[in-house]
Amino acid sequence: MLVSELMLQQTQVARVVPRYQAFLASYPDPARCAAAPVGDVVRAWQGLGYNRRAVNLHRCAAVVVDRHEGVVPDRLEDLLALPGIGPYTARAVLAFAYERDVAVVDTNVGRVLARLAGRPLARNEVQAAADDAVPAGQGWAWNQGLLDLGATVCTARAPACERCPVSGWCAWGRSGTAGPDPAVGSAGVSGGQSRFEGSDRQGRGRLVDALRTGPVSRRELATVMGWPDDPERAERVAGTLVVDGLARWHRGRLVLP
């Protein structure tokens, strides 16, 4: 469950499914993942993007083995203490793996709750409203339903209010969706991503892809990253990979850790 949630962060399901199956074939449990070199886990992450998640997963596996006897913990505070695990992922593990009555809040759920309230909500209000709504003993099904409601009915650009099962309780819907959308700027509701083409993220991704096949020297960085005329930028961005644990320098060449 932890693996799938990390893979699904900002990545479409269609891309995740085959990579998830292949990853579990190589690393069926936390102990196997923790014992592998970080670079091998990064290689297995190919095609998913946001490669820092692979490093976080490896670090999580190590903590799970060292502190929890190789079993993903089932307490919120322990999950939040894992490297790179935030409130959404921790609660998703509790709700979907352990079937606890906790609320999972992603951008879709945050949008539904803000529209129901008819106003933007602060972060603590979003989580409190979601927690209060979970029926006892039905956390798994409730969260699945609410996530699907936001993803397929109460969508960002064209909400299908006419077929929404909670339209009668929706303050924004009852107003005829007049005025600004309460979800815009509400806590938990993501805005648009910055442009990827030409970004540092694109250069990082190109470099990690190259490192999966072998070392990259300093003089090759700019060309590999797509900025042949800007070696200073390439050097700077490559440095962020080292800081994030995605690469290291070895004998004048950059390699996977």
Distance CA 116, CA 130 (A): 11
More confident residue, 33 or 2: 33
More confident residue, 89 or 13: 89
Mean local confidence (pLDDT), 162-169: 94
Distance CA 54, CA 83 (A): 11
Report whether pLDDT(114) > 80.
yes
Report whether pLDDT(162) > 70.
yes
Report whether pLDDT(231) > 80.
yes
Report whether pLDDT(79) > 90.
yes
Report whether pLDDT(30) > 90.
yes
Tokens found for residue 112: 């539904």
Return the CA Rg of the chain.
21
DSSP 3-state of 140: helix
Distance CA 129, CA 140 (A): 17
Measured torsion, CA atoms of residues 169, 170, 174, 178, in degrees rounded to the nearest 10: 170
8 Å CB contact between 73 and 64: yes
Residue 24 has a pLDDT of 94
- Record the pTM: 0.86
Residue 11 has a pLDDT of 80
Report whether pLDDT(194) > 70.
no
Instruction: Give residues with Cβ within 8 angstroms of 88, minimum separation 6.
Output: 5, 104, 105, 106
SS3 letters across 185-247: CCCCCCCCCCCCCCCHHHHHHHHHHHHCCCCEEHHHHHHHCCCCCCHHHHHHHHHHHHHCCCC
More confident residue, 50 or 100: 100
More confident residue, 195 or 40: 40
Mean local confidence (pLDDT), 194-218: 92
8 Å CB contact between 186 and 111: yes
Mean local confidence (pLDDT), 206-227: 96
Report whether pLDDT(137) > 90.
yes
Tokens found for residue 50: 């946001």
DSSP 3-state of 112: helix
Report whether pLDDT(193) > 90.
no
Q: Residue 252 carries which side chain, given as an amino acid letter? A: G
Tokens found for residue 3: 């693996």
Q: Which residues pair with 250 in a beta bridge?
A: 253
pLDDT confidence band for 126 (50 / 70 / 90): very high
Q: Which residues pair with 253 in a beta bridge?
A: 217, 250
DSSP 3-state of 37: coil
Annotation says 5 is catalytic: yes
Phi, psi (5° rounding) for residue 255?
-135, 165
pLDDT confidence band for 191 (50 / 70 / 90): low
Where is 24: in which H helix or E strand? helix 13-26
Instruction: Give residues with Cβ within 8 angstroms of 205, minimum separation 6.
Output: 49, 51
Report whether pLDDT(198) > 90.
no
Mean local confidence (pLDDT), 207-221: 96
